Structure 1
Amino acid sequence: MRIIAGKYKSRRINTPAGAVHNTKDQDKSIRPTSDRARDSLFNILFNLIDFDEVVCLDLFAGTGALGFECISRGAMHCSFVDISRSAEILIKKTAEELDCIDKVSIIKDDSLRYVTVNEKYYDIIFADPPYMYEDYGKLINTVLNKEFGIFVVEYGNVNKLDIKSERHEKIDRTIGTTNFRIYISNDNE
């Protein structure tokens, strides 16, 4: 798994040995977002935001691929949140190898709990929970009630996201078996 574009283009992102890459094993281990899906997502985001100096939040960070892609494209800082010790180790190792540890905060916490109590503003928030995560609705509603620029939720075909918001534009994209819902704050216009 590699960074797609920017300063760290083609640099390796550390993944766990035997990482799950398909949705048949959705409830196991860390499931990194594929290079193809990340490339498509960032092509969309490129038209919505200038990555220079943005502050990102990567919930259910896993390998940190989404956050590191932002840093590579110019983000000032990314906070990575994951409850898994192995995710914490992978993210730290990648940040050290990329020599961008000063742009990284690693928070070992439950992502829903963290976003519930944290009041910090983020330009981009990514949420990539396990596809079998039971609190998608609660997570999305919690974030939608916060102030942010763009909120990206990754989900599988097993999930139905029926959450609407008058305060946000919505873009839906499917890349293979990966789905993205992008909420854009109307307050940024």
Structure 2
Amino acid sequence: MRIISGLYKSRKIVAPKNLPVRPTTDMAKESLFNIINNLYYFDDISVLDLFAGTGNISYEFASRGTEQITCVDQDFGCIKFINKTAEAFGMPIQTIKSDVFKFLEKATIQANIIFADPPYNFELEQFSKIPEFVFKNNLLLEDGVLIVEHSKHTNLSSLENFAYSKSYGGNVFSFFEKG
């Protein structure tokens, strides 16, 4: 995995093989950040990265100048790896070790962008809980967006606050916005 743009452009990050992750591909990540780049100034936003895994998405935000980044993952190995990598690069990334759904139930943190990359084998009911909690608990700031990554075999367009989706190979990013 590599950082595509910004201060740490072209830096490679090698995650331990024993982490239970599926990092976003470079092609999909580059396309996603092209969309985000047209919507926001990276140094003016805050990001909440759910199911953070290796921290791949958070490193990209940090490299582009985002200074308020919070990663949530339930796996201790993932949190440890994110902390180690963020410290090595001097990135402003905070981590929270928690089950994402338990975190979302009680969360008060607000962000401009909430990115969620849950396991691709989630059932629609599990996927639906992500936007449900985000909007019920008012976790998006004004003009904020929730982006959920999932496989092309999952369709989230029936969920409340769904705005649109973009496909890149086997990856799909579904965007949710306040109604």
The TM-score, its normalising length taken from structure 1, stands at 0.85
State the AA in 1 paired with 2:111.
Y
1:35 and 2:30 matched: no
CA contact (8 A) 1:16 1:30 kept: no
Alignment partner, residue 152 of structure 1: 147
Contact 1:54–1:74 (CA under 8 A) maintained in structure 2: no
User: Aligned partners of 2:21 and 2:57: how far apart in 1?
Assistant: 14
Match of 2:159 in 1: 163
Give the Cα–Cα distance (whole angstroms) in 2 for the partners of residues 52 and 125 of structure 1: 16
Count of residues in correspondence between the two structures: 172
Equivalent residues in 2 for 1:29-178 (5 A)? Answer: 29-100=20-91, 103-134=92-123, 135-145=126-136, 146-148=138-140, 149-161=144-156, 162-165=158-161, 170-178=163-171
Amino acid at match of 1:17: K
1:115 Cα shift? 1.5
Q: CA deviation at 1:171?
A: 2.5
Deviation string, structure 1 residues 92-135 (Cα, Å, up to 9, x no partner): 121122122xx111111011111221112101100000011241
Q: Paired residue for 1:2?
A: 2
Q: Does the residue aligned with 1:52 lie in a helix, a strand or coil?
A: helix
* RMSD over equivalenced CA pairs, Å: 1.6
**Corresponding position of 2:15:** 15
Residues 59 and 86 (structure 1), Cα distance of their counterparts in 2 relative to 1, 3 Å cut: same
Question: Is residue 176 of structure 2 the alignment partner of residue 183 of structure 1?
Answer: yes
Q: Distance in 2 between matches of 1:184 and 1:10?
A: 32
Give the secondary-structure state (helix, strand or coil) at the position aligned to 2:96.
Answer: strand
Q: Which runs of 5+ in 2 are unaligned?
A: none
- Could you tell me how far apart the structure 2 residues matched to 1:10 and 1:180 are? 23
* Contact 2:131/2:176 (8 A) holds in 1: no
Q: 1:14 to 1:92 in 2, by over 3 A?
A: farther
Tell me which amino acid in the other structure corresponds to 1:131.
Y
Provide the rounded CA distance (Å) in 1 between the counterparts of 2:48 and 2:174. 16
Q: Is there any run of 5+ residues in structure 1 with no aligned partner, and where? A: 20-28
CA distance in 1, matches of 2:27, 2:49: 19
**Normalised TM-score (structure 2):** 0.89
Report the Cα distance in structure 1 between the residues aligned to 2:130 and 2:73, rounded to whole angstroms: 14
> Share of identical aligned residues, percent?
37
What is the aligned partner in structure 2 of residue 23 from structure 1?
A: none
Report the alpha carbon displacement of residue 18 of structure 1 after superposing the two structures with TM. Answer: 6.5
Give the residue type in structure 1 aligned to 2:37: F
